[in-house]
């Protein structure tokens, strides 16, 4: 008898638990669950897009930073190999070129940081008129030492009313990236 009573107790406990777990859901409850599922799917898609955008930005940033640091590493390597053969003046000139490359690299990194802040909404920039000729002239002047190092010449032809609508530093960052590639290649 004891075992039968125990079996009935277990049977009743299972039945009660099942009734609690399978409480009837009305149509409104089903609709609410479907709405929650759809909202979660949309949020998941939005987050997947954000991750893809972040990964894309990181790929571009890594490329830009590697492009910026490569000439610095190259100049240091050359200087190390030739240090015993250089006059103090030539060694100083090489160090000054490395310092100029470092300044350009730092500016590039700051521009990438600004772009990241803009994309994330942390920073907002109002569009302003930027004199493209002034920006281009500053860039060309900054590349003179790099061009000489590469045995190249930098020429610039200015056009009338070269006005850009944008942010000065961001516009310069784009020009520097493209111009730097052209000077080195």
Q: Any idea where the domains of the chain sit in the sequence? A: 28-184
Please answer whether residues 101 and 146 qualify as being in contact, where contact means their C-beta atoms are separated by less than 8 angstroms.
yes
- pLDDT at position 162: 62
Query: How many Å separate Cα 158 from the centre of its chain?
Result: 31
Read off the pLDDT band of 183 (50, 70, 90): very low
Percent of the chain that is helix, strand, coil (3-state, to 5): 80, 5, 15
Place of tokens 């590639």: 181
DSSP conformational letter for 155: -
Reduced to 3 states (helix: H, G, I; strand: E, B; else coil), residue 17 is helix
**For residues 1-25, average pLDDT:** 52
Please answer whether residues 91 and 81 qualify as being in contact, where contact means their C-beta atoms are separated by less than 8 angstroms.
no
Instruction: Encode pLDDT of 157-168 as tens digits.
Output: 877 766 665 555
Please answer whether residues 142 and 102 qualify as being in contact, where contact means their C-beta atoms are separated by less than 8 angstroms.
no
Nearest to 74 by CA among 51, 52, 101: 101
In the predicted structure, residue 73 carries a pLDDT above the cut 80: yes
Please answer whether residues 49 and 41 qualify as being in contact, where contact means their C-beta atoms are separated by less than 8 angstroms.
no
- pLDDT at position 5: 47
Higher pLDDT, 34 or 19: 34
In the predicted structure, residue 153 carries a pLDDT above the cut 60: yes
Token pair of 133, please?
Answer: 């000729």
Neighbouring C-beta atoms of residue 115, cutoff 10 Å: 19
Verdict on whether the full-model pTM lies above 0.85: no
């Amino acid at each position: 008898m004891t075992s039968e009573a125990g079996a009935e107790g277990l049977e009743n406990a299972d039945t009660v638990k099942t009734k609690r777990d399978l409480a009837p859901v009305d149509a409104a409850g089903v609709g609410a669950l479907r709405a929650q599922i759809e909202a979660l799917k949309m949020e998941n898609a939005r987050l997947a897009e954000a991750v893809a955008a972040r990964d894309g930005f990181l790929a571009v940033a890594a490329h830009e930073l590697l492009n910026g640091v490569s000439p610095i590493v190259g100049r240091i390597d050359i200087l190390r190999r030739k240090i015993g053969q250089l006059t103090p003046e030539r060694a100083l000139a090489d160090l000054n070129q490395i310092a100029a490359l470092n300044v350009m690299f730092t500016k590039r990194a700051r521009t990438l940081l600004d772009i990241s802040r803009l994309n994330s909404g942390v920073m907002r920039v109002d569009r302003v008129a930027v004199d493209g000729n002034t920006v281009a002239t500053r860039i060309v002047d900054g590349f003179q030492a790099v061009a000489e190092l590469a045995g190249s010449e930098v020429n610039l032809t200015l056009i009338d009313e070269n006005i850009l609508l944008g942010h000065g530093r961001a516009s310069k960052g784009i020009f520097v990236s493209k111009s730097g590639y052209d000077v080195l290649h």
